[in-house]
């Protein structure tokens, strides 16, 4: 299980759930960002697949802020994929 800074994971999942400066949800970009933070390619794919199974892709691409329930579900997905956060 790889330790990834919690701040980055919060940012990545919030970007996936709440949109970012770019329009649309980009699976490959999110996977690359997770990998740059130290997550294995398999874990990154697990996270994006889980997000896409759990949330509608249009919801992932929206620019609305994620709810606390959505954030919690994203944290659960990270744990299910073996991604463990660490404090900086």
The domain containing residue 7 runs over which residues?
A: 2-86
Low-confidence ranges of the chain (pLDDT < 50): 1-4, 6-8, 18-21, 88
How many domains are contained in the chain?
1
Query: For position 41, what pLDDT does the model report?
Result: 96
What is the distance between the alpha carbons of residues 84 and 3, in angstroms, rounded to a whole number?
Answer: 5
- Number of Cβ atoms within 10 Å of the Cβ of 66: 21
68-80 and 6-18 helices cross at what angle (nearest 10)? 120
Query: For position 21, what pLDDT does the model report?
Result: 45
Phi, psi dihedrals of residue 5, rounded to the nearest 5°: -55, 130
């Amino acid at each position: 299980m790889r330790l990834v800074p919690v701040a980055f994971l919060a940012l990545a999942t919030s970007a996936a759930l709440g949109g970012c400066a770019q329009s649309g949800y980009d699976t490959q970009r999110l996977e690359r960002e997770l990998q740059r933070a130290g997550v294995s390619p398999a874990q990154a794919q697990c996270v994006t697949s889980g997000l896409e199974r759990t949330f509608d892709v249009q919801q992932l691409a929206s620019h609305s802020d994620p709810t606390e329930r959505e954030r919690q579900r994203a944290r659960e997905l990270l744990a299910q994929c073996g991604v463990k956060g660490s404090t900086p």
